[in-house]
């Protein structure tokens, strides 16, 4: 066995696991790692200026690549800074190995500056959390962490790395990676029950979740939807493209409110969830999202999600790529000629409805295109109309992105990434990670002004790495979504028309000046024509650029 230092062994182990990019923000406890990187030729270290953007960059990289991402943080405050973005990674099921430097173990009993019990801090937001206490355990710890992060359902893991483990040397066996084969096939009896329920349904509806793109099963979901003539909605918080947007059965996303969901489902008699959560809500409501008596067929890679909030008529623990073809075949067999004819009629009607609703949305965008300041729906349509077919869109528009998912030509699983967890500040750095994972595809990030300020220092990393990303900052000078929801309470704020802590206009944030100060080309757009010109230039640029778009500030319902 070779004699290796812990810091050298760590890099070799990461390379064994396929890692070629590491994100981080170093401190004193990371110095052994940084020293090892000085002689490293294969592994690229991407510097972020704070741990929150570093964590979101790794999340974006993991989502876009489908492989293991690694981020290294600095002891307790660094891990604390990253926790909001780690929550987002957990909700998105991103396979990220989160590491943090720890003080040397002989020192820790004294509770030195910055020390804390790191695995306990990380534990609520990861699949596995551990501190490596001996160099001899480092290979097994890295391999176990990578295997766990990538095993279905995927998600982040955490390792604390004390300094003495990284500086020690010993004869150690590095071992080899293990991968859990992801193609779980569903129980045959459960699939048979589901097929009978679907074949008998008169008005089925499908909700698609992250498990579909994670398993590469968009085509398989299309086959099921077309076989039964069902419209397809995204789950409430979508982190990826779950159904081809060009397919007229696609309906986009829905508001995460109980009454909205109930109204949508009231038109149907069977809910089919393929990896979609039931339901992630933003606010409570007076009604339950699920109409009384509605039956549920649910397929997911995560047993926790099956039957979590509602009793289900058929719950199938399975990988969609492996089991959707079996389910579709069983449904077709159960339908028979008469059922197939009814499904064909539904399919024609659902396609016509999809085409008509999209045309109505585009007409509304066109009608709003002359407004000044820019209407957000018109902005979404203008951006969507400018993008090449292979574009990757990162969406953290929050309150400004209504209609975006329908308007985008996002037909593959890597064409769209959204804020799954809801912790804002994710989108700007996630776009950097996505670009590093997909260097040959144009990346455009649509970010609200409030969201952008959570991780604005991520722009420096984009400039430093010379990444061709176009950041579109949608500036309404407020936390508009908070105004909308406070107004909906019909309390004191609505009576006085005074919304405390929700305006960003005294002084206004100058995103153009901030971006230029961090090394980007940046301009401000006040018309759709200027947006189109600046976006076209940004897509041709050699490095990152930022477009600040002044949009209308109205937020009250009309």
Q: Are residues 201 and 162 in the same domain?
A: no
Give the least confident one: 37-51, 52-66, 235-249, 262-276. 235-249
Report the percent of the chain where pLDDT is more than 70. 99
Report the C-alpha gap between 29 and 31 in whole angstroms: 6
Write the CA distances from 160 to 375, 442, 457, 539, integer angstroms.
48, 36, 26, 40
**12 lies in a domain?**
yes
Domain final position from 143, 171, 199: 171
Q: Supply the pTM of this predicted model.
A: 0.95
Q: Within 10 A of 8 (CB to CB), how many other CB atoms are there?
A: 18
As beta bridge partners, residue 206 has: 232, 272
Q: How confident is the model at residue 312 (pLDDT cuts 50, 70, 90)?
A: very high
Which has the higher per-residue pLDDT, 426 or 254?
Answer: 426
Report whether pLDDT(558) > 70. Answer: no
Q: Are residues 229 and 98 in the same domain?
A: no
What average pLDDT does range 134-152 have in this prediction?
97
CB 161 within 8 A of CB 10: yes
What average pLDDT does range 388-417 have in this prediction?
92
49: nearest Cα among 497, 344, 501, 459: 459
Interval 165-224: pLDDT, tens: 999 999 999 999 999 999 999 999 999 999 999 999 999 999 999 999 999 999 999 999
Determine the Cα angle at 447 with ends 445 and 448, to 5°.
170
Q: Are residues 443 and 347 in the same domain?
A: no
Interval 252-311: pLDDT, tens: 988 888 899 999 999 999 999 999 999 988 878 889 999 999 999 999 999 999 999 999
Q: How confident is the model at residue 398 (pLDDT cuts 50, 70, 90)?
A: confident
**555 lies in a domain?**
no
Q: How would DSSP label each residue in 199-246?
A: HH-SSEEEEE-THHHHTT-HHHHHHHHHHHT--EEE-SS-SB--S-TT
Q: Are residues 350 and 374 in the same domain?
A: no
Strand order in the sheet with 44-47: 44-47, 21-24, 69-74, 96-102, 157-162, 129-131
Q: Are residues 64 and 120 in the same domain?
A: yes
Question: Which of helix, strand or coil describes residue 48?
Answer: coil
Strand order in the sheet with 270-274: 250-252, 232-234, 204-208, 270-274, 295-300, 314-317
As beta bridge partners, residue 446 has: 395, 472
**543 lies in a domain?**
yes
Report the C-alpha gap between 43 and 22 in whole angstroms: 7
CB 114 within 8 A of CB 80: no
Q: Are residues 233 and 127 in the same domain?
A: no
Average model confidence (pLDDT) for the chain? 94
Q: Within 10 A of 202 (CB to CB), how many other CB atoms are there?
A: 9
Cis omega before residue 279 (within 30°)? yes
Q: Which pLDDT value is given to residue 543?
A: 96
Number of domains making up the chain:
3
Q: How confident is the model at residue 557 (pLDDT cuts 50, 70, 90)?
A: low
Domain final position from 296, 329, 359: 359
Which has the higher per-residue pLDDT, 136 or 2?
Answer: 136
Report whether pLDDT(422) > 90. Answer: no
**437 lies in a domain?**
yes
Q: Which pLDDT value is given to residue 401?
A: 83
**160 lies in a domain?**
yes
The domain of 47 spans 3-171
Q: Which pLDDT value is given to residue 117?
A: 95
What average pLDDT does range 522-533 have in this prediction?
96
Domain final position from 359, 385, 401: 359
The tokens describing 135, both together, are 């160099």
Report the C-alpha gap between 383 and 373 in whole angstroms: 16
**490 lies in a domain?**
yes
What average pLDDT does range 314-336 have in this prediction?
97
CB 68 within 8 A of CB 43: no
Report the C-alpha gap between 482 and 489 in whole angstroms: 11
Contacts of 11 (CB under 8 A, 6+ apart): 36, 37, 40, 43
Q: Are residues 141 and 42 in the same domain?
A: yes
Q: Which pLDDT value is given to residue 510?
A: 96
Q: Which pLDDT value is given to residue 104?
A: 87
As beta bridge partners, residue 396 has: 447
Q: Which pLDDT value is given to residue 2?
A: 83
Strand order in the sheet with 545-550: 416-418, 392-396, 443-448, 469-475, 545-550, 521-525
Look-up: residue for tokens 């109204």? Answer: 263
What average pLDDT does range 343-350 have in this prediction?
96
The tokens describing 496, both together, are 């006085």
Interval 428-454: pLDDT, tens: 999 999 999 999 999 999 999 999 999
Q: Give the relative orientation of helices 51-65 and 427-437 as an angle to the nearest 10 degrees.
A: 40
What average pLDDT does range 377-391 have in this prediction?
95
Q: How confident is the model at residue 114 (pLDDT cuts 50, 70, 90)?
A: confident
Report the percent of the chain where pLDDT is more than 90. 83
Which has the higher per-residue pLDDT, 532 or 493?
Answer: 532
Question: Which of helix, strand or coil describes residue 103?
Answer: coil
Report the C-alpha gap between 398 and 57 in whole angstroms: 19
Report whether pLDDT(131) > 70. Answer: yes
Q: Which pLDDT value is given to residue 105?
A: 87
Dihedrals φ, ψ of 491, to 5°? -105, -145
Cα torsion 298, 303, 304, 308 to 10°: value is 30
**557 lies in a domain?**
no
Contacts of 329 (CB under 8 A, 6+ apart): none
Look-up: residue for tokens 């991968």? Answer: 179
Q: What is the domain-level CATH number for residue 465?
A: 3.40.50.970
**74 lies in a domain?**
yes
Q: Which pLDDT value is given to residue 531?
A: 96
């Amino acid at each position: 066995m070779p004699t290796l230092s812990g810091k050298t062994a760590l890099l070799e182990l990461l390379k064994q696991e396929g890692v070629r990019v590491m994100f981080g923000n170093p401190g004193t406890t990371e110095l052994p790692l940084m020293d090892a990187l000085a002689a490293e030729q294969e592994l690229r270290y991407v510097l972020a200026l704070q741990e929150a953007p570093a964590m979101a960059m790794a999340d974006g990289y993991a989502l876009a690549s489908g492989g293991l991402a690694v981020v290294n943080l600095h002891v307790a405050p660094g891990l604390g800074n990253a926790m909001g973005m780690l929550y987002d990674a957990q909700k998105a099921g991103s396979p990220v190995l989160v590491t943090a430097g720890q003080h040397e173990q002989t020192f820790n009993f004294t509770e030195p500056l910055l020390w804390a019990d790191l695995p306990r801090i990380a534990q609520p937001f990861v699949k596995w959390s551990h501190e490596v206490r001996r160099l001899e355990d480092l290979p097994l710890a890295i391999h176990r962490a990578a295997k766990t992060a990538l095993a279905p359902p995927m998600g982040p893991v955490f390792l604390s790395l004390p300094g003495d483990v990284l500086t020690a040397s010993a004869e150690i066996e590095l071992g080899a990676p293990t991968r859990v084969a992801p193609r779980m096939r569903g129980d045959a009896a459960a699939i048979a029950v589901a097929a009978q329920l679907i074949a008998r349904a008169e008005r089925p509806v499908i909700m698609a979740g992250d498990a579909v793109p994670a398993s590469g099963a968009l085509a398989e979901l299309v086959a099921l939807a077309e076989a039964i003539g069902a419209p397809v909605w995204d789950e409430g918080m979508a982190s990826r493209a779950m159904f081809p947007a060009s397919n007229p059965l696609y309906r986009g996303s829905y508001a995460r409110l109980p009454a909205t969901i109930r109204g949508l489902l009231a038109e149907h008699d069977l809910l089919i969830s393929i990896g979609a959560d039931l339901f992630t809500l933003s606010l409570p409501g007076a009604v339950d999202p699920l109409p009384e008596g509605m039956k549920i067929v649910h397929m997911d890679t995560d047993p926790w999600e099956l039957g979590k909030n509602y009793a289900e008529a058929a719950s199938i623990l399975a990988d969609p790529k492996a089991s959707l073809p079996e389910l579709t075949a069983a449904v077709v067999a159960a339908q028979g000629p008469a059922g197939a004819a009814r499904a064909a009629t539904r399919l024609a009607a659902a396609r016509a409805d999809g085409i008509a609703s999209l045309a109505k949305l585009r007409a509304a965008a066109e009608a709003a295109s002359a407004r000044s300041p820019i209407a957000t729906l018109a902005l979404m349509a203008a951006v969507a109309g400018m993008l090449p077919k292979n574009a990757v869109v990162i969406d953290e528009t929050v309150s400004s992105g209504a209609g975006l998912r329908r308007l985008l030509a996002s037909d593959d699983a890597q064409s769209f990434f959204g804020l799954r967890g809801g912790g804002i500040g994710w989108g700007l750095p996630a776009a950097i990670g996505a670009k590093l994972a997909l260097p040959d595809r144009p990346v455009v990030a649509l970010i609200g002004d409030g969201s952008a300020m959570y991780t604005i220092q991520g722009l420096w990393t984009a400039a430093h790495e010379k990444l061709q990303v176009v950041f579109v900052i949608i500036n309404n000078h407020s936390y508009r979504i908070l105004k909308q929801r406070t107004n909906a309470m019909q309390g004191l704020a609505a009576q006085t028309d005074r919304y405390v802590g929700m305006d960003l206009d005294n002084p206004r944030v100058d995103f153009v000046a901030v971006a230029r100060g961090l090394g980007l080309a940046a301009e401000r757009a006040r018309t759709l024509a200027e947006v189109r010109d600046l976006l076209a230039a940004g897509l041709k640029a050699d490095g990152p650029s930022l477009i600040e778009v002044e949009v209308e500030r109205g937020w009250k319902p009309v």
